[in-house]
Amino acid sequence: MKAQLSQEDIAEIKELFGTELQGLDPEAFDRLHKELRQKYHPDKFERYDDEVVREMAKDKFQRIEKLAEKVKAHFAGESTIAAPAYGSGTNYADEDAIFGFDDMKIEIMTRDKDLKYKLFGTFLRWLERGDKFKIPKTNAKITIDQDHRGNRVGFVEAIRIYLTFTAEDPIETIIDWLYERLNGRADALIIEGKRLPVEKLALAAYIRQKAFLGLKAPD
């Protein structure tokens, strides 16, 4: 049985290589891969005093290399593309699916020093441990885990939050709100310990999967 490129892999290709898989051929991919290797090679970041910057570069380089092997296998005909994570046959895609989660841990790595203000609203200049924010048009709440201040040169910041919502809250509204504020501003996203590309398909699929409670009882 052939290996498969998951939908998360497909989303990550777009995130890292800047184009859809179907828009690439082996030569174009090799060229982009070479450029990214040069840009994010860990040796280029050894001069940085900030350990977070070095770790982020190392992590991104490893992601690029791991993904490149999968793409090369795809071009060689050694893998296929998996069906979307939520589609027919998956319970959490059912129109009668219900969702809820208490304190879903979300970690956001960003170089955008203003992201925390755009995420929670400008009325909070500094966010402190225990602060809560209500997502508009829902009763869902985000709780801040710790104080957040920007690091020094290069600016890398970790924003750690917890998301709580119930079956009464529209999950699409929650996902849309979160994605709109992270898209183009976040460098990395970790939900309940799993790293995801900052891409709506992957974000929606994983939140749905983790928060799936079951199906509504028939009337």
| Whole-angstrom distance, CA of residue 18 vs CA of residue 213 | 35
pLDDT in tens, 100-135: 999 999 988 888 877 777 776 554 445 555 677 889
Mean pLDDT of 147-162: 62
Percent of the chain with pLDDT over 90: 18
pLDDT score for 124: 44
Average pLDDT for the chain: 79
- Hey, what amino acid is at 74? H
Q: Which helix (H) or strand (E) holds 34?
A: helix 26-40
Q: Residue 138: pLDDT band by 50, 70, 90 thresholds?
A: very high
| Distance, CA of 71 to chain centre | 20
Which pTM does this prediction carry? Answer: 0.59
Q: Enter the tokens of residue 43.
A: 């040796």
Distance from CA of residue 214 to its chain's centroid? 24
Hey, what are 69's tokens?
Answer: 């092997």
- How distant, in Å, are the alpha carbons of 64, 148, 202 from that of 57? 11, 21, 22
Residue pLDDT, tens place only, 3-21: 677 777 777 787 788 888 8
- Which residue shows structure tokens 């009668």? 96
Q: What is the pLDDT of residues 39-55, one digit of tens each?
A: 888 888 777 666 767 77
pLDDT at 175 exceeding the cut of 50: yes
3-state helix, strand, coil in the chain (%, to 5): 40, 20, 35
Query: Is pLDDT at 78 greater than 80 in this prediction?
Result: no
Strand partners, 142: 133, 163
DSSP secondary-structure letter at 148?
Answer: -
> Residue 70 belongs to what H/E stretch?
helix 51-75
Task: Specify the DSSP element, H or E, that contains 142.
Answer: strand 141-144
User: pLDDT-derived band of residue 83, with 50, 70 and 90 as boundaries?
Assistant: low
